[in-house]
Structure 1
Amino acid sequence: MTSALERELGVDLLIRSSTGVRPTEAGRTLLVEARAVLARYERAVSALSRHTEPGGSLLRLGIPLELPEDLLVGPLARVGERFPETRVRARHLSTAAQFAALRTGDLDVALVREHPIGGGLDASLIVAEPLGVLVTDEMAGRVAGPAGVRLERLVGVHWVGFPRTASPAWYDEVTAILRSHGLDLGPPAPEGQELIPEVKFTAVLSGRAFALAPPHWSAPLPPGVTWLPLLERPLVRRTWAVWPAESRRRDLGALVAALEDAYGGHNDGEEPGGKG
């Protein structure tokens, strides 16, 4: 790095010898100036911090029903270390409800299934999960190969879906892919119904339906239900962290940065844990 600076500046910054190196006059001048620049930077950061919202406050976080169970553990711990006075309050909400809460100021940051459209909100991708399917053990024996199942093998079995109002763009993406493989969407889910694990399991155990589920699913599978990976990964569910673009909260920024750092560990498509 020093050699590159010397070439750029056209001066020697160090005198090199067999006994070591020492700065030239130009090198000492550069060192003084560099220290002054660093000092000014520290003063600028200190001054700017007075104009940002302090960390000592409530951070309201929206989360969907299904996330890798350890996704938030590390990021929340990091925020707690840097901003011990910050309290995080999490709420389970649909994507549509989270967007509405962000725009009314009732949430500070949201974890949603769709990238926001238009201005006013910033977003960062934090999880991409290749989805698999939940089917009965008997059905798995009929349709699956050693590595998983192809979507078209589920023709004639209807999908246990979620209401479109919960996440319109994600719903449209899922249904378009299912239809392209010839699948039956089944009856539409009632508006406002949350697709909790018990609803999925009850429908699947009937033997006439399948449900979508991520590989890292915290809910234990009941006897008679199997999770299968989908071959060629036709369905990838993405989750974004979204927050108001004008926000200057340092604790919020720390949480988003920690979620981004954790992103790579939640995209390997491994099979979820065994049955409960």
Structure 2
Amino acid sequence: MDLVKHLRYFTVVAEELHFGNAAIRLGMAQPPLSQRIRRLEEELGVRLFDRSSRQVRLTEAGRALLAEAREIVDRVDRLRALAERGEGEVLRVGVPPDLGSAVIAALIDGFREAGGEEPDLRVRLAPAEMWSTDQVAGLAAGTLDVGVLRHPVAAPGLSFGPVLVQRPGVLLAEPDPLAGRSSVHLADLAGRRLVLFPGEPGLQEETLAECRRHGFVPEEVHEAQTLGLVIAGTAIAFGPRVELPGLRWRPLLGEPLAWRISTAWRGEAGPAAAVFGAVAVRVLKENAGMTDDGAAPVRRVRTRPASGFLA
């Protein structure tokens, strides 16, 4: 566990005493923030907040920890600031949490190598795992320089790099009868519950429309960042190929789903953002199985608020 990062989350929640407001300040969704506070409580063996439907309050242990937590976070920030003076500018980048650590590591390595080829470019990459809605808010607020987000998005004022396409398959519990097939038709999933990413309302809308068009109307739709419901055999999910205990990934017959992803920035892209955009295209093709988009330009849609369900 990254203790300093979790202490930072704790101090912001302690200042706001409201998980929703704290999540906005941190540029992340509320469910993962709640998860990380619970993880910190488990690590420390104490309850830091009293939570109810009406209010959030610090416990006695939480009040005792707050001053020390602030001091630790401030010291780490001072250390980073000193280090960054010798490294140049920091490019703040948002990436989807489900890209995976290997892809994010490849982005960092690729950007470092590209920076070495540009003698005047002294920039350090600081990625933050954020869903597209949070990235759009961060770009608008100036807390992010570049985003790697999924389309469609309703975001006037943003510019986009080349659009890549990812063809997801279906994730099933290992004992599922469909897991024994070489491929699965969307209509074969009729009557099942579906897990979708939170923070991606435009993608959710497009995915559900395509499912209906191919004969799959989910019995129920949940938003979750984990695959717990899928492993338990109570739901299915769509996504890139993964190898996890208890799960089976199968391609969808005819590849009916096409998830589009690209870099995005506000205003004119500076040299660092342009370099990162080129690196991102190469890395996503090589490490995430994405291909060039031969479709029409990116569409912007009006999206509906998400429900915030967490498995």
TM-score of the pair, normalised by structure 2? 0.57
Unpaired runs of at least 5, structure 2: 1-86, 292-311
Listed as ranges, the matches of 1:12-51 within 5 Å are none
- Bigger Rg, structure 1 or 2: 1
> Which of the residues 191, 206, 212 maps onto 1:179?
212
Number of the residue aligned with 1:133: 170
CA distance in structure 2 between the aligned counterparts of 1:118 and 1:91, rounded to whole angstroms: 20
Distance 1:117 1:162, change over 3 A: closer
Which residue of structure 2 lines up, in the alignment, with residue 15 of structure 1? none
Residue 101 of structure 1 aligns to a residue in which SS?
helix
1:258 alignment partner, one of 266, 279, 285? 279
Q: Map residues 30-179 of structure 1 onto 2, 5 A cutoff.
A: 56-67=88-99, 69-70=102-103, 72-81=107-116, 82=118, 85-117=122-154, 119-125=156-162, 127-139=164-176, 141-142=177-178, 145-146=181-182, 148-163=183-198, 166-179=199-212
Q: What SS does the aligned partner of 1:76 have?
A: helix
Contact 2:136 2:155 in 1 (8 A): no
1:225 paired residue number:
247
Q: 1:209 aligns with which of 235, 258, 268?
A: 235
Q: Distance in 1 between matches of 2:282 and 2:234?
A: 41
RMSD: 2.6
Tell me the CA shift for residue 117 of structure 1: 4.7
Which of structures 1 and 2 has the larger relative contact order (alpha carbons within 8 angstroms, sep 6+)?
A: 1
* SS of residue paired to 2:276: helix
State the number of aligned residues.
199
Q: Quick one: which amino acid aligns to residue 181 of structure 2? A: G
Q: Which amino acid aligns with 1:259?
A: A
**Larger helix proportion, structure 1 or 2?**
2
Contact 1:112/1:240 (<8 A) preserved: yes
What 5-or-longer segments of structure 1 have no aligned partner? 1-54, 270-276
Distance apart, 1:252 and its partner CA: 1.4
Give identity over the alignment, percent: 27
- Decide whether the 8 Å contact of 1:124 with 1:242 is kept in 2: yes
Amino acid paired to 2:240: P
